[in-house]
Amino acid sequence: MGNKNFLKIKVVDLFCGIGGLTHGLAKEGLDVVAGIDNDITCKFGYEYNNKTKFLNQDISKVTAEEINKLFGDEKNVIKVLVGCAPCQPFSKLNLKKITKKQLQPLEKFAQLIGETKPDIVSMENVSGLADTKKYPIFKTFINALENGGYKYKYEIVNVSEYGIPQRRRRLVLLASRFGDIELIKKTHKNKKVTVRDVIKTLEPISDGEISTRDPLHRTRKLSQLNLKRIKATPHNGGNSSGWSKDLILKCHKKDSGKTYRSTVYGRMRWDDPAPTMTTQCIGLGNGRFGHPEQNRAISLREAAIFQTFPNNYQFSNPQEPIITGHIAKFIGNAVPVRLGSVIGKSIKNHVKQYAG
């Protein structure tokens, strides 16, 4: 590389979703020229917040020519291809057999790397994908990098060690045609950002209530039974272990269901990071998503904060009604913005090192 003019970094974000990764990269000064995703409902939020174009396309139909056109033919540009392929098939929560169709996005990502030959690649996914015996597709992805002459490094990252107020373990891979590349050093290894740090001062609200100050600070209405359950759950990390028999779910009374009792209908702890945000994170029965003290599940705003989206991030057109399920999906599927910034910083450091 060795040329100090090679300092403009252009990025194409595959599987961009609502733009968490893009936003983090852009905060570090990287020029994200486009995001590509097959979910048209992400278009407004992605373009409004990131001031770049959203291409509504199925990744399987995207060609190398289209990617190269997005990068343009400007000289002295470092081309970066990033993406978080749909991770649900590789999640521990997926108990079904993975289909060939579900593997196609990651296979296509590898194919596009081979055909477009970007200078730098970043891929983020669930930690389980690193098990190459269980998921040989990851080995195929690595082989594509090796065959393309890339140096690469991947690691399982607990994002709380980078100041994200959430326990979220992710596989993060960086690859470069220039030389060795790795993530920046952990910034919060010994001092995690906690639930208390980021949501303690938010206005208290009830289940089913919408804040008058913040339309995103809204919660799902609980059934009468679930309201009894959350009231019977001890504050600050409590779970269903102390519930009376009439509150316990039938499936949890069986021996096979007892182990799940500690993983759902629980409250968060004030002085720990939040659990992993999912697309179901505003539902009480979908994890430990109960508020530490208030008798409700977390709000959309709280979920967005745990994913480190800035408060002014618009997930949908303010002229249209908020569709709670859509926004929960946007938030749960996103790469945390701060993790995007960490990846961006790592790429910048790498470019400076090899630019002289």
Interval 219-262: pLDDT, tens: 999 999 999 999 999 999 998 888 888 898 776 655 545 555 56
Which run of H or of E encompasses 101?
A: helix 100-116
Of the ranges 27-36, 171-180, 259-268, which one carries the lowest mean pLDDT score?
259-268
pLDDT of residue 94: 45
Does residue 295 have a pLDDT over 60? Answer: yes
Active-site hit among 16, 42, 84, 87 = 87
Chain mean pLDDT for the chain: 90
Percent of the chain with pLDDT over 70: 89
Instruction: For residues 266-276, give the mean pLDDT.
Output: 97
Q: Are 155 and 183 in contact (CB under 8 A)?
A: yes
Model confidence at 89, pLDDT cuts 50, 70, 90, reads low
**What pLDDT score was predicted for residue 75?**
86
Crossing angle (nearest 10°) for helices 64-71 and 100-116: 50
Three-state secondary structure call for residue 273: coil
Chain-centre distance of CA 262, in angstroms? 24
Q: At what angle do helices 43-50 and 20-27 cross, to 10 degrees?
A: 10
Q: What one-character-per-residue DSSP string does 6-36 give?
A: TTEEEEEEET-TTSHHHHHHHHTT-EEEEEE
Is 351 a residue whose pLDDT tops 60?
yes
Residue 265 and residue 247 in contact, taking contact as beta carbons nearer than 8 Å? no
Angle at alpha carbon of residue 39, lines to 37 and 40, rounded to 5°: 105
Q: Which fold has domain 195-333?
A: DNA Methylase; Chain A, domain 2 (3.90.120)
Ranges for all domains in the chain classified under CATH 3.40.50.150 = 8-190+336-354
pLDDT higher than threshold 80 for residue 301: yes
pLDDT band of residue 78 (cuts 50, 70, 90) is: very high
Domain with CATH 3.90.120.10 in the chain: 195-333
87 is annotated as an active-site residue: yes
Q: Is the separation of the CB atoms in 273 and 192 below 8 Å?
A: yes
Residue in this structure with the two tokens 């002085």, named with its chain if needed: 271
In this predicted structure, the answer to whether residue 92 has a pLDDT above a threshold of 80 is no
More confident residue, 181 or 93: 181
Model confidence band, residue 97 (pLDDT cutoffs 50, 70, 90): low
Query: What's the CATH code, domain 8-190+336-354?
Result: 3.40.50.150
Cβ atoms of 290 and 230 closer than 8 Å: yes
What is the DSSP secondary structure assignment for residue 262, as one 8-state letter? G
This prediction's pTM: 0.92
Whole-number pLDDT of residue 2? 44
**How many helices (H) and strands (E) would you count in the chain?**
11, 7
Distance CA 129, CA 125 (A): 7
- Tell me what the mean pLDDT of segment 211-218 comes to: 97
